Amino acid sequence: MTMTTENNLPPPEPGMALWHHRDFLLLWSGQAISILGTSVSTLALPLLVLALTHSPTQAGFIAAAQTIPYVLFSLPAGALLDRWNRKTVMILCDTARLLAYGSVPLAYLLGHLFLLHLYLVAFVSGTAFVFFNSAQIAALPRVVPFALVPRAAAWNASAKSAATLIGPGLGGFIISLARTIVGGTMLAYLLDGISYAVSALSLSVIHLPFQEERPAVDQSSLREAIVQGLRFLWSHQRLRMLALLIVCIGFFSSSGDLALIVLAQQHLHADARLIGLIFSIGSVGGLVGSLVAGPITTRVPFGRILTGTTFAEAFAVGLLAAAISPIMLILGLAIISLAIPVFGVTQLSYRLSLIPDTMQGRLNSVFDLLFFGSQPLGVAVGGLLLGVAGPRIVLASMALGLTLAALAVGLTEISKQ
């Protein structure tokens, strides 16, 4: 498939629809099920650790163990996926997660479930996600015609949004079926493991290859391959500006939830139930955004969407900073959750159109590293500023940072595309 470098993707041909693409439906359905399973086990993990140790600190450490692979393996994973068979890697990653999550209820039944085991499961699942996610993104233009990539990405975003809405409630219901919290979490882990088995099965029956034919074996070292990807990114003005924008968004938006919670508690006197309701209602915008992201991306120039959604998020964060009622918090969250999937689908489609297939793994892994790597620093800075200046100043600073980022991108050639 020839990679387009036009400002916008070509419009889909009449009759082209994702419903007609068997391989994509297999890929998407398997992913939708595994994402829902992950959402269920995400709730089970802290409940299990708290039940076993009564230590919130241990729960936090184990959650962090899932994110460490982002920093350790993102770059080498991308380079390796430009050499390895992407479909095979994805099946192996699903198999690894099936075994990891399935081992938890097995160890519990045998009476040998220890904290170290949970740390290893968290690390293995995080590592598998890094490889799987990079391979899946790189494979998308191979599974569907490139004109349908925005719609395919929007379908993926819809599955994630739906899982975010349904997963926690479903997880709580599943856990409540058992007599004890530990027993309930074992059931949640078992179902999550089964969801990865479904995903691996769906991948195994897909006919299309997930990468272009690679006749020659790359003799360069892994380090050289990573450096080649970084040089390509830095030499490409559009990709470079997009990467900087993503770093800014990751940094300036990372402490938003914490600042909102502090604002709701200390300034609006909201209790835990009301705060949960605010987040639940506000997150509905994410599902709406994922549904409209595909059509918007095929009709509006990329640059206008990228700058427009960043300005929208900045405005919404400013609204949160000025909030004097829960309604304003819900409105601000709804705008943010609406803008995020539209921005995500657009930037993914845009960068896939600019990156050659032979470098998709490396470049996409760099973007993942920049986004996820900027968040811990943003959370740390936001946490320090919260203690000194309060939540309104933190949110106002976030809004200012996002506004400046949008203005900076608006001055580049991306805004004209």
Residues 38 and 128 reside in one and the same domain: yes
Tell whether 398 is covered by a domain: yes
Residues 147 and 97 reside in one and the same domain: yes
If one counts the domains in the chain, the total is 2
Residues 169 and 295 reside in one and the same domain: no
Tell whether 1 is covered by a domain: no
Residues 272 and 386 reside in one and the same domain: yes
Exposure of 157 in the CB half-sphere (CA atoms within 13 A): 30
The one-digit pLDDT tens for each residue of the chain (417 residues) are: 334 444 444 444 544 577 878 899 999 999 999 998 888 887 788 888 888 888 767 877 787 788 788 888 988 998 899 889 999 999 999 999 999 999 999 999 999 999 999 999 999 999 999 999 999 998 888 898 878 888 888 888 888 888 877 877 788 888 888 888 899 999 999 999 999 999 999 999 998 888 877 655 556 678 888 888 888 888 888 888 888 899 888 888 877 877 887 888 788 887 756 776 777 777 788 888 888 887 888 788 888 889 899 999 999 999 999 989 889 988 998 899 899 889 988 888 888 888 888 888 888 888 888 887 787 778 778 878 877 888 899 899 999 999 999 888 877 767 666
Residues 170 and 261 reside in one and the same domain: no
Domain closes at, from 169, 204, 239: 204
Residues 80 and 174 reside in one and the same domain: yes
CATH number of the domain where residue 193 is located: 1.20.1250.20
Tell whether 2 is covered by a domain: no
Tell whether 9 is covered by a domain: no
Residues 183 and 108 reside in one and the same domain: yes
Tell whether 11 is covered by a domain: no
Tell whether 50 is covered by a domain: yes
Residues 48 and 105 reside in one and the same domain: yes
Residues 143 and 283 reside in one and the same domain: no
Residues 186 and 233 reside in one and the same domain: no
Residues 54 and 186 reside in one and the same domain: yes
- Expressed as residue numbers, the domain containing 234 is 222-416
Residues 123 and 263 reside in one and the same domain: no
